[in-house]
Structure 1
Amino acid sequence: MFKVTQEYELAHKHFQLALIDANPCSTPKNIIKFHIAHLFEIQGKVRVAKERYELLLRDKSITSNLKSEIFRQLGWLYHSHESLGEKSQRIPLAIHCLQKANETEPYSNGQTLYLLGRCYASIGKVHDAFIAYRNSVEKSEGNADTWCSIGVLYQQQNQPMDALQAYICAVQLDKCHSAAWANLGILYENSLQARDAYACYLNSQAGLKTKGIQEDNSSKIPKLGSSSVGMNPHLTQRINFLQDRLANAQMPSVTSQRRQLLSIEEAWNLPISAEMSSRQQQHTQQPRSASQSFQKPYGQSTPQGPPPPYPSPVPGKRFKAEQEQKVIQPSYMLSQQQIHLLNHLKSNALTLTVQQQNLMRQLQNQYSLMQQHLRNSQNQNRTPTPPGGALGPPIPYLVNQGSPLGTNKGFPSVSSQLNVSSSSFMSSQHQDLDVEEELKDLLSQKDLATTLAENLLKHFGSEEIETKEEADSTTSTTTSAAEPVVQVSSNTLSSGPFSPSNIESKSEINESKKMRIKSPTEESVLTVKSEPASWDFEALHCSEKKSTVDYSIDMNAETVLELCKGETITGDINDSVLLDIGPPPSPPDPPATKLSHQQLIPPTPSVYLDNKKHAFSPQLQEFCLKHPIAVVRGLASALKLDLGLFSTKTLVEANPDHSVEVRTQIQQPSDENYDPQTGKKVWACISHRSHTTIARYAQYQASSFKESLKEEREKSQGGLSDSDSRDSSHPCTGKRRKMNFSVTPSSLIKNSKEHKTLKFGTNVDLSDERKWRPQLQELMKLPAFARVVSAANMLSHVGHVILGMNTVQLYMKVPGSRTPGHQENNNFCSININIGPGDCEWFAVPDSYWGAICRLCEQNQINYLHGSWWPVLDDLYKANIPVYRFLQRPGDLVWVNAGCVHWVQAVGWCNNIAWNVGPLTARQYQLAIDRYEWNKLQNFKSIVPMLHLSWNLARNIKVSDRKLFELIKNCLLRTLLKCCRILEFVKSKGVEVKFHGRGKNEASHYCGQCEVEVFNILFIREQEKRHVVHCMDCARKQSLNLEGFVCLEEYNSQELCDVYNTFILHNISANSEPFRLI
């Protein structure tokens, strides 16, 4: 599924997990390895893919079918990638691989032969290419790509009529085949038939949009001799040219020069095309081969993508036309020739003689009777043979056997997908009605392009055919997936309707249950009880109590370990650190309160600081913790922070070669996000990653500013003014700045229409004190709750660096730079200071609505955690989701509270610095641990190692807040139990546990397979010449009894027991802090 949705990193991760799993699997390991190799291929990692394919070929256990697929993929790699050598060396290798593929599986479909024809055509072997295409058609006549390639060869050989027929066959098989439509347009344009060429280009462009492919404006028109099937011109340019030409053209006269080629309508209704339509309908009625379950479609990223790794389905028999039941047609049914005649008479109505006019009226009357007959046939559920449906001469190279071949968006040089599902082509019971509608359109006098589009839509069938059941099941699945598992209380603190969610109810439950954990005893596992004759609920309840061990945070560590060792030893160990009294974590339902228009756009909590005393007052921290997001204005001037230390000029002088991650984005207005292909508002935010240095990005940032100044100067000289300045509620400039470093929305709108791209310098790491000492020292002026390092900051107790969280990161921006929507890692709070000189615009949603945004992401087919998304504001307002919106000026500090969803766009040229903080509150810890568990369910790595952090907190601080104490103590209890159970299981398998210990500032460990935090007990195995840490679940998937693994222990049991026992609730006076350092 991830491969289909182009989430390649996740796809590779899951394929790798499946590969190492030693449990029985319906998919052979070799097939999984093939998928991994193909994944590298479609990512453009050609050499890695080639090595994986060749490694698979050395395996003597692979099937002939898989061997054929591997040879086919290798052949296409050699054909299409210049990085594998010179063309004179590559093409012979490609031909050799494809011939081997065909020899290995001679009864496969025509896919391999088609690619072989492409290779021959690329080196000018026209005869061999024709033979390969012919053989491909004999095996799979329903392949639009093959017919398109045949058309190219005919076009190269100056046989336009044959090329026309081949292209018509291609577009009848796949009405969205943009390459065939483009080639057909070129053919018509070369024949001086501008109107037909214009219609073809329109259909080619529509095919691109249907498949979600954006034409490359920078690409040139390929020549006819190109190895690519899709000779796609710059469609927009050609369409505009032909549109102007047709608008200024004179009306055609009867004496005009005769056309070289048939028009599209005439070519479409040729007997050869009718034969193709009939054959294709019969193919759609055939049952699919079971082997087609191996097919894995994927999206196209380049015009020459790799062929999909499809198997060779068993050839299916096709019904012969003479075997079908014949239906006696009424005398008024029009034949194909009569339809052509009527069409011709209709188009020349003004110049007809009296006899011709009488004939036209007679044919029109017959046509009306035929329409009525077809309607009656539909009502009686009959399927009469369409008029003029007699089969014409056979199509060249077609035989009586064939099988539907599903091609793919990633197919080489084609921009479309041949879909052989039941909904792709019209079924026989709807065929006649569609022909009837087609005839009406053919006889109408509408614009040719419009008529053609309608004809094609109706010719290929109704979208409703055989899709109702599938749609219902899909809807049902989606609805089920969207339903929440647990309803979270929407109680809030007294500060307002959007204040951080209150966890009082959870704490009360925790206290009432005394943090008890029930575990099955040996007796309950081994004893099998017969079903009682009558239900005694009280007896059953008592029996359940006796069969479990109640673990409580009130127990000391020794008691916990003693009870744990008495349990039955199994390898299935619950690693959740949440209580058992509730369901697994899931996106919560939003508050049910219906908000007014004013409430959907709430004012942003903000405070202005006049002096240093206000900055260090406890009220400031309380203010920030009380709201989902808050702006502290004037902080830099109040604390006299030297923001110049973080300016681009200073950064270049200090470390010009320091690495900068760059995101290439499309410049758009902050409140809009358009798809550059369709022009529609979407959630997907395009952002491509690359890297550069501070010095190089500084040059780009400066040149961008100079270019903008030049444009403004030209505007002013031309007497133009900008009337689209921001209103008073969203000012873009400050009085203290002489130069405007922000841009107006109107200029962004102009740029967005041009699809202008920008580069956003993000994630500049400032953690090295040797390189950035002056900058880090300056930040020590901040109040304690906002500092990078502070005893009051949970993240300072992790004990090692987490880049961007407990270290400073810098962002270098130009107008339009976007930080897409997200919550902070593990729901920790964050600090962001704008260095200037320009402004930033922020959007934020309270944490209680994150579940609603998560569902909106799913509805827009974007992964909430892994995806890049920019919410459409109208969608949020319709979903009753409030949005804070405000400007952050230079020197302003933005506090993002725990769980707040936010996204940011630069209004001007500016730098920002940011880091995370973790207030020592129960709410912060609860939200962090909830996200930690939800990340596990979503296969998303938790950047903050919550188990490691919890034990360090227990070592370092004394807690007087009961809620926070119980949450941390519960995490310690569950971790202690898990370690004990793992050790007992490992010993039962005879695996030696070696003490390893931990080094100072050593990073926390994560499983190399599933990326879950591994605490204390590590399973090590050599993998690809390096030692990889595994969790016990992944280790047992590879070896049920842990053979081949080394088990290391970082803490001995006594050390953990001492920490657990000494972590107690301290009674501190009400005026004191809720914690203190030990």
Structure 2
Amino acid sequence: MTIPRKTLMPLHENYRGLDHKIDQMVIPDLDPNGKEQALCADQTPTIPNFTGELFLDIQTTSAKSIIEKAHKRINGINTVYDVLDISSRKYLISGDDDSVLKRELEFFADHNSKQAEDTREKAPKKGYLPVRIYKMSENEEEPFDNLQKAVKTSSILIIEGLCDVIGLKRKAFTLRELLKAMPEYKVNVSRQIPEPPEVNMLTVYDKKLEEKSQGWRANAIQHDVSLESFVDYYETSTASSIRALQSVKACPDNAESIIDTLQKELKNASLPLPRKYHIHPDATVIAFGTNIDINPENKYHKLKRQLKNVEKLPKFLRPTKDGDLMDHVPEILAGINTLQVYAKVPGVKTYPHIENGSLESVNVNLGPGNSVWYSVPLEYSAKLQELASEKMSSREKEEFFKQGYWPNEEECISRGIPIQKFIQRPFDTVYVGVGTYHWVVATGFTIQIAWNVASKCFRQLAMVAITHDHYLANKYTSLIPIEPMIWNMVRNKTDIDDKLKRLVKGMLCRSLANCKFEIDYVEKHNIRKVPIQKTHGFAPIERCHKCDVIVFNLLPTDTRPNVYCFQCLKPNNIDVVYQRYSIKKLSDFYDSVHLY
């Protein structure tokens, strides 16, 4: 629903009505009568959690005092911060009531045009929440000021006209152009059987090849193919579909036979599947070209045209900009701080997800087809996750973030979960707000470009911290290197406001205490520890060779040497531990952050 550009959303100063709850999760008030310590069952270092109680006042406690308190951790007692409460972090976050929903429904009702012919301008059915449309004009003075306010206060937003205002060139992102730039590229494809959004049948069958409904469960087949093979498939499928459409228009009486011919052509054009999968012999298995990386640091790719187009965006919409959170992450995180291209054919689905670390994201539809989007605001994310978990087996629940599923709209609404449902048309830009769950189905052939936005603000870093612990509670590894990022913010002397500074210092406190425990653990087990030198060849950010968790300050290695975390490499298998920073250096960084 189109809202005037200067109009602010309800509760624009209290995102989704959750700001106080978010505050208390990451920078809780110190309780003078509360706990003073936590018992730690695991005597092996893990990555720190960033939610829960702190047992000290970060405003008055020095790094030296933190180090002294952290020394008790080697005896199984944490006197700096509480252990991760898995039960409370199992689901992301929930609102206390429906007050935000009611306010927004009233807000949209006040702006509803009952005479509107465009379905996106009409009030949706009961149980659905309208989506704000922000229409841009090339003649508008200072066109991005109001847009920036709109995206930061919406759970999800459609931006019309952005591509025209900045002069984005669609041709730069056609598959043929990408193939010219990356002739050797391998693309990951998601193989699915096309079906309407309200239908969810088995893609992979048992040996009986029986077709049956699978509730919410979804299981696409993933494999890699050459970009050249995928481009041939995509262009052949597109051409066959266009011919069929033109033939039906010319001879509607022959529609049935034309569609039969099209089905055969699409099946013949299909990419081969890995042999281990059982697929119904009559099924046409489509291919979704996911995550085609536009990597600015890959010297073998000629991507100047694509990167130049991204630079046309206003700074607050770019994948990485000077001063944002990702500016302090010295590595490429595909799709997070770089752009990715998605090539869709009719029927392909993107399953429900939040962005990594609950970051915001941008998705531009370059056409020519449409996509149907569904989303759930942040305050209902826990309800959606809980309902999705009920549809899963015990094993699937253990790997919640690795499971694909496709929600039933009616079931969501009956559980009090509002759905935002809308069509993304060619050249529409969708801005996804912090922590918004969303899922998408393509209804036409379309190329889309997408990336994350990591704003340097309290709310975004707080949600990164909350999501980090949410991942830990669900045995999932975060891609965002949160410890290197926050320490680099201090090393780089980043200018931040007082509230964000307090959050950063609280997170540094937990990290510093954990670094001290790691050192005590290494010394207790008489493991050799040496300072890292440039000649050692370690990357600025290292991950465990086995579980992919971020390894921040102490890098345990085997004889090869591969880097592991302490959980995956036991003391008797550690050859040497490499140390990035001394405790003295980290303490100096910590004490340089002054709160007022």
For the residue of structure 1 that corresponds to 2:134, the secondary structure is strand
The residue matched to 1:994 in structure 2 has which SS? strand
SS at the partner of 2:361?
strand
Q: Does 1:713 align with 2:249?
A: no
Q: How does 1:292-441 map to 2 (within 5 A)?
A: none
Distance 1:577 1:640, change over 3 A: farther
One-letter amino acid of the counterpart of residue 586, structure 1: K
Equivalent residue, structure 2, for 1:1060: 590
- Residues 1:647 and 2:174 aligned together: yes
Answer yes or no: is the 8 Å Cα contact 1:663–1:687 preserved in 2.
yes
Residue 507 in 1 paired to residue 23 in 2?
yes
Which residue among 701, 704, 708 is the counterpart of 2:237?
A: 704
Query: How many Å apart are 1:890 and its aligned residue?
Result: 2.4
**What is the alpha-carbon distance in structure 2 between the residues aligned to residue 819 and residue 1027 of structure 1?**
38
Q: Distance in 2 between matches of 1:606 and 1:550?
A: 46
Counterpart code for 1:787: R
User: Which one of 289, 294, 305 corresponds to residue 761 of structure 1?
Assistant: 289
CA distance in 1: counterparts of 2:214 and 2:524, whole angstroms: 59
Which of 175, 183, 191 does residue 664 from structure 1 map onto? 191
**Cα distance in 2, alignment partners of residues 696 and 614 from structure 1:** 46
**Percent identity (aligned):** 24
Structure 2 residue aligned with 1:1018: 555
Distance 1:958 1:816, change over 3 A: same
Q: Is the 8 A contact 2:22 2:462 kept in 1?
A: no
Equivalent residues in 2 for 1:163-242, closer than 5 Å: none
Shift in Å, 1:504: 1.9
Report if aligned partners of 1:663, 1:689 keep a CA contact under 8 Å in 2.
Answer: yes
- On the 8 A contact 1:1008/1:1029 being kept in 2, the answer is yes
Q: Following the alignment from structure 1 to structure 2, what is the Cα–Cα distance between the partners of residues 838 and 658?
A: 25
Cα shift readout 1:280-328 (whole Å, capped 9, x = no counterpart): xxxxxxxxxxxxxxxxxxxxxxxxxxxxxxxxxxxxxxxxxxxxxxxxx
1:860 aligns with one of 391, 395, 410: 391
Tell me how far 1:653 sits from its aligned partner. Answer: 2.9
Shift of 1:654: 2.7
Alignment partner, residue 155 of structure 2? 628
The equivalences for 1:583-982 within 5 A come to: 584-587=88-91, 588-589=93-94, 592-593=97-98, 598=125, 600-611=127-138, 617-675=144-202, 677-680=210-213, 682-720=215-253, 755-769=283-297, 770=299, 771-861=302-392, 862-863=396-397, 864-982=400-518
Whichever structure has more helix as a proportion of its residues is 1
Check whether the contact 1:761–1:811 (CA below 8 A) recurs between aligned residues. yes
Matched, 1:990 2:526: yes
Shift of 1:937: 2.3
TM superposition shift of 1:600: 1.9
> Relative contact order (alpha carbons < 8 A, sep ≥ 6): 1 or 2 greater?
2
* Aligned with 1:554 (options 36, 60, 77): 60
Q: Output the amino acid matched with 2:159.
A: V
For residues 508 and 719 of structure 1, the distance between their equivalents in structure 2, rounded to whole angstroms, comes to 63
**Aligned residue for 2:112?**
none
- In structure 2, what is the Cα distance between the partners aligned to 1:958 and 1:713? 58
Q: Which residue of 1 aligns with 2:543?
A: 1006
**C-alpha deviations, 1:1029-1068, integer Å up to 9, x for none?**
2323343xx34xx4644121111223212221222348xx
2: CA distance, partners of 1:1049 / 1:865:
32
Question: Unaligned regions of 5+ residues in structure 1, if any?
Answer: 1-492, 522-547, 723-751, 1067-1078
Cα RMSD (Å) of the superposition?
Answer: 3.4
Alpha-carbon distance in structure 1 between the residues aligned to 2:433 and 2:136: 19
> Could you tell me whether the CA contact under 8 Å between 2:556 and 2:575 is conserved in 1?
yes
Q: The residue matched to 2:435 in structure 1 has which SS? A: coil
- Deviations along 1:561-602, one digit per CA (max 9) or x if unpaired, are 24444x3733x4769987889974121456544989845212
Letter in 2 for 1:764: I
Length-normalised TM-score, structure 2: 0.77
Q: State which of 569, 580, 596 in structure 1 corresponds to 2:74.
A: 569
Question: Match of 2:74, as an amino acid?
Answer: I
Q: Aligned AA for 2:291?
A: N
Aligned partners of 1:577 and 1:970 also within 8 Å: no
CA distance in 2, matches of 1:997, 1:683: 51
Deviation at 1:684, TM superposition (A): 1.9
Shift of 1:520: 7.5
Shift in Å, 1:845: 0.8
User: Deviations for 1:38-67, whole angstroms, at most 9, x for unmatched residues?
Assistant: xxxxxxxxxxxxxxxxxxxxxxxxxxxxxx
Structure 2, unmatched stretches of 5+, are: 1-8, 40-53, 106-123, 204-209, 256-279
Q: How many angstroms apart in 2 are the aligned matches of 1:922 and 1:497?
A: 13
Please tell me whether the aligned partners of residues 38 and 83 of structure 2 are also in contact (alpha carbons under 8 angstroms): no
User: Structure 1, residues 654-708: CA drift from partner, whole Å, max 9, x if none?
Assistant: 3333221111111011343234645436212231112222222121111111211
Give the 3 Å change call, closer, same or farther, for CA 556–591 of structure 1 in structure 2: closer
| 1-structure distance, mates of 2:540, 2:548 | 14
Supply the AA of the counterpart residue of 1:646. F
CA–CA distance in structure 2, aligned partners of residues 869 and 615 of structure 1: 42
Q: 1:793 to 1:640 in 2, by over 3 A?
A: same
Question: Quick one: distance in 2 between partners of 1:780 and 1:945?
Answer: 25
SS of alignment partner, residue 303 of structure 2: helix
Distance in 2 separating the partners of 1:880 and 1:608: 30
CA distance in 2 between counterparts of 1:577 and 1:964 reads 19
CA contact (8 A) 1:609 1:615 kept: no
Q: Say whether the 8 Å CA contact 1:845–1:883 is kept in structure 2.
A: yes
Q: Distance in 1 between matches of 2:576 and 2:79?
A: 21
1:896 CA displacement: 0.8
Superposition pairs of residues 67-86 of structure 1, within 5 angstroms? none
Distance verdict in 2 for CA 1:512–1:520, change over 3 Å: closer
Identify which of 535, 553, 562 aligns with 1:1028: 562
1:768 CA displacement? 3.7
CA shift in 2, pair 1:1049/1:1011, >3 Å: same
Take 2:579 and 2:413, find their aligned partners in 1: how far apart are those partners?
Answer: 52
Q: Deviation at 1:1001?
A: 9.4
Residue type at the aligned position of 2:446: C
TM-score (norm 1): 0.44
User: Any conservation in 2 of the 1:794–1:918 contact (CA below 8 Å)?
Assistant: yes
Larger Cα-atom Rg:
1
* Other structure's SS at 2:500 match: helix
Q: In 1, distance between residues paired with 2:539 and 2:80?
A: 24
Tell me: CA distance 1:613–1:562, structure 2 relative to 1, closer, same or farther (3 Å): farther
Aligned residue identity for 1:871: P
One-letter amino acid of the counterpart of residue 504, structure 1: H
Aligned-pair distance for 1:720? 4.1
SS of 2:311 mapped into structure 1: helix
How far off is 1:961 after superposition? 3.2
Distance in 2 (alpha carbons) for counterparts of 1:720 and 1:893: 38
The amino acid of 1:1002's aligned partner reads A
Quick check: 1:574–1:978 contact (8 Å CA) kept in 2? no
SS in 1 for 2:367: strand
How far apart, in 2, do the equivalents of 1:583 and 1:865 lie? Answer: 17
CA separation in 1, counterparts of 2:318 and 2:246? 43
1:754-781 CA-partner distances (Å, limit 9, x unpaired)? 7432111111111045421221122111
Find the residue that maps to 1:500 and give its secondary structure: helix
Change over 3 Å in CA distance of 1:847–1:757 after alignment to 2 = same
Code of the residue aligned with 1:1008 in structure 2: it is H
Partner SS, residue 218 of structure 2: coil
